[in-house]
Structure 1
Amino acid sequence: MASDLLTIAASGARAARGALDVTAQNIANASSDGYVRRSVRMEEVSASGGNLRTGDLSLSGARVAGIDRNVDLFRQAEVRRTNSDLTRAATELRGLQNIESAVEQAGVYSAIVEFEASLQQLASDPSDPSQRAAVLASADTMARKFNIAAESLDAVGEGARFDASAAVEDANIVSGELARVNLRLSRAGEGSSDRASLLDQRDALLERLSGTVNISTSFAPDGTVTVKAGGSNGPALVTGGTSAALSMATAPDGTVSFAVDGAAIVPSGGSLSGSALALNQIAQTRSRLDTLAAAIAETVNTAQANGTDADGNPGQPLFAGAGAGGLRLVATSGAALATAPAGAPAGSIDSSNLAALRQALDAGGAAKSMSALLFDISSQVAGRGVTYEALDSIAASARISLEQQSGVDLDTEAANLMRFQQAFQASGRAMQAASDIFNTLIGIGR
């Protein structure tokens, strides 16, 4: 027999020591994010010749054949997909909540209502200077409220674009790291501890990247990964040891678009998708706000042009500027309000033109339009909130399923620790027995 008892026991001790090292590593990393439980794959030392022939390795002990990661690629892909959806929903919801706060806190709706109420009070005595001054004050307040709402929306958009730009930069960093991990994986030994650590790093980077943009992955036999951005039909972001550049462009209306090395992508998941959706909603809200401000200004200025002010002069515009951000009051005196019809003398108490203005504002539905805008935003926030909660539950279930399959169970590892310790001790006993037998045989020979 080519292998003696001492060699067999020594191989068993080495194998048990390797298993103990892996078990200790599992226990030490039980709470580490992204760590996948390892297990030692052992095998008998196979025979290289026939029984009782020279070079025979049968019954020669055991050896560590490799270190396996207990991972399920399907569960990992599901975690990445659900994480991408959840991050998109969270980013969009946060953007919508900021829009809602910006528009509601500006108080545009209440300012419109107060302006219309001041016009109604003026109708009781169109010659009263104090009531004319009150109308002018409420008109100025309304214009400023529109300005505040526009500035707040611009600030929300700027914040969303900053976050998206930071996410693009982070995605490029992660892509570069993935390319470097690919290079190291292609050189790592099969079944080695270093290879298992690299695979953990690869999977953690993929999950991090999925939180930025939805990705499609394909794995080579050596563990390297090819990543496409925006889905399976998107351009390659990582191929082997090289990574492409993800970029962002901003349109005049504040919306954003993305590209990988110049090839356009439309993310359907990740924070980039959520930011794009939020910025689209900001642009739509700003457009509706601008339209409403322009409609109010046009209605008031048209009524002014059709009437006569308190001094008997043709009415002049009350408002100037474009959109919600540029709307401003240009009249400086309550006497500028053209409450009387065209051609009326100075000091006329004929309020027919004022009535026409109130009727035009009512027909235009300024307050109703603003209320509808607020309602639409609130409805979207509520709807996205429900979506977020559902996606959060789905993502949590996917992660729990993955952790149950690939996470470290301390009870199991404690049992393995005792088992491999006993195996190591048994191998030591076998070596001691081999030594005792050898010494006995030597003693008999004497």
Structure 2
Amino acid sequence: SPNDAVARQSVIDQAAQTAQSFQQTALGIAQVSDNIVSQTRDTVTAINRIGAQLADFNKLFRANSENAENAGIDALVHTALEELSGLANFTLVKSNDGSLNVYLGGQTPLVTGDHQFAVSADFSSPQTVIRDSQGNDITAQISGGSLGALMEERNSVLPGYLNSLNTLARTLADQVNATLAQGVDQNGATPAVNLFTYDQAADAASTLRVSGITPDQIAAALPNAPGGNGNAIALAQLANAPLVQGFTFIQAYGNLGAQVGRDVASAKQDRGQRQDLLTQTRAMRSDATGVSLNEEAAKLLQFQQAYQAVGKLVGVLDGLTQTLMDIIQ
């Protein structure tokens, strides 16, 4: 019965559960973003550590520029460069004295001669910004390695998911509130309080909640039939209405989880392909004579950058998929 206090309270309780689900999903995305911030800090620290190592190696190269190649030092350099290639894309230029100049993104000096130029990560805005030693924004130059993947996730992928979630939360709240506003409450009065509320459109999912509405304020009846359930029926019909970009609320919520799943599957396939290329190139380098910077080693650095990028993407998306599916189910 529309006048049953228990039934009216049930509407409020179910609305609260729905709001909580949106909040939990938004929180899950926010936690992934926070984890990315931590991983990005660690990655930048590692890049600067390797830069310092390479600058030290360059001192040795310059000191022994007239002597034969030192296989031991060359091996250490290759190890450092391979590690760096998994962290970010860079260009390597060898000087006549044997020293190596490293340019992040092909443009920003990380190491020139025996000088290192440390980079930093700026998280003061929602978008991760990478800065050079002078504080200039070099974000656009970083496209490979785990750093490139981490930035893509925080700056592009996660905001896309969150935007879809906010659109769904906002549409649900607005449609439910608008439908209830067309009816009358248990006392025959026009509703004075919305069922749902949220702070602003950009944060609809994380701030969605039930207002201080009471059971008798639920507008279950239509104005021309007070005491009836005409508006409650209209409210129930919203569940099957294609109100979110042509989809129902449940379909739109499921689509978000499905999109993350597709992104994971695509990234895993890409990771497998790049792993094969990386393995082949490592074998080619092992067959090559010596440990100098040959063509096979250069290819290895490139494939390492790509492999680490998609590998990091898979890890981030896997965690987010579980968060979403736990809530959707």
What does residue 206 of structure 1 align with? 81
Alignment pair present for 1:284 and 2:165: no
Could you report, residue by residue, the CA deviation over 1:354-395 in whole angstroms, capped at 9, with x for unpaired residues?
233334452312112111111111111111110011111111
- 5+ unaligned residues in a row in structure 1: which ranges? 1-124, 409-446
2:223 to 338, 342, 347: 342
| SS of aligned partner of 2:253 | helix
Cα deviation, 1:217-261, whole Å, max 9, x if unaligned, reads 011233211111113xx2222110111121222364x33122323
Could you tell me the TM-score, scaled by structure 1's length? Answer: 0.58
Q: Could you tell me which of 92, 98, 113 is aligned with 1:240?
A: 113
* 3-state DSSP of counterpart to 1:202: helix
Count of residue pairs the alignment pairs up = 277
Correspondences of 1:130-279 after superposition (within 5 Å): 130-188=6-64, 190-191=66-67, 195-231=70-106, 234-250=107-123, 252=125, 254-261=126-133, 262-266=136-140, 267-279=142-154
Aligned residue in 1 for 2:281: 398
- Provide the rounded CA distance (Å) in 2 between the counterparts of 1:325 and 1:406: 58
- Go from structure 1 to structure 2 and tell me whether the alpha carbon gap of 1:140 and 1:317 turns closer, same or farther (over 3 Å shift): same
TM-score w.r.t. the length of structure 2 is: 0.78
Q: Which runs of 5+ in 2 are unaligned?
A: 292-329
Computing the radius of gyration from Cα coordinates, the structure with the larger value is: 1
State the Cα distance separating 1:139 from its structure 2 match. 0.8
Write the distance in 1 (CA, Å) between the matches of 2:242 and 2:160: 23
Aligned to 1:358: 236
Give secondary structure in 2 for the equivalent of 1:228. Answer: strand
Deviation at 1:268, TM superposition (A): 1.8
User: In the alignment, does 2:311 pair up with 1:311?
Assistant: no
2:198 pairs with 1:321: yes
Structure 1 partner of 2:302 = none
**Are the counterparts in 2 of residues 309 and 335 from structure 1 also a CA contact under 8 Å?**
yes
- Deviation string, structure 1 residues 298-327 (Cα, Å, up to 9, x no partner): 111112222111222322201112311111
Aligned equivalent of 1:415: none
* SS at 2:93 equivalent: strand
Taking only aligned residues, the RMSD between alpha carbons, in angstroms, comes to: 2.1
Paired with 2:8 and 2:65, the residues of 1 have a C-alpha distance of 87
- Partner AA of 1:403 in structure 2: S
Partner AA of 2:131 in structure 1: A
**For residues 16 and 289 of structure 2, what CA distance do their matches in structure 1 show?**
64
Q: Which amino acid aligns with 1:260?
A: D
CA contact (8 A) 1:312 1:343 kept: no
Looking at structure 2, the residues matched to 307 and 293 of structure 1 have their Cα atoms a distance apart, in angstroms, of: 22
Shift, 1:344, TM fit? 5.1
Aligned-residue sequence identity (percent) comes to: 25
Q: Single out whichever of 219-228 and 167-176 deviates more from structure 2.
A: 219-228
Structure 1 contact 235–263 (Cα < 8 Å) conserved:
no
Per the alignment, residue 294 of structure 2 pairs with none
In the alignment, the residues of structure 2 paired with residue 171 and residue 376 of structure 1 have an alpha-carbon distance, to the nearest angstrom, of 32
Aligned to 2:101, the other structure's residue is in SS state strand
Say if 1:174 and 1:312 are closer, same or farther in 2 by CA, change over 3 A.
same
What amino acid is aligned across from residue 264 of structure 1 in structure 2? I
Distance in 2 between the 1:129 and 1:334 partners? 6
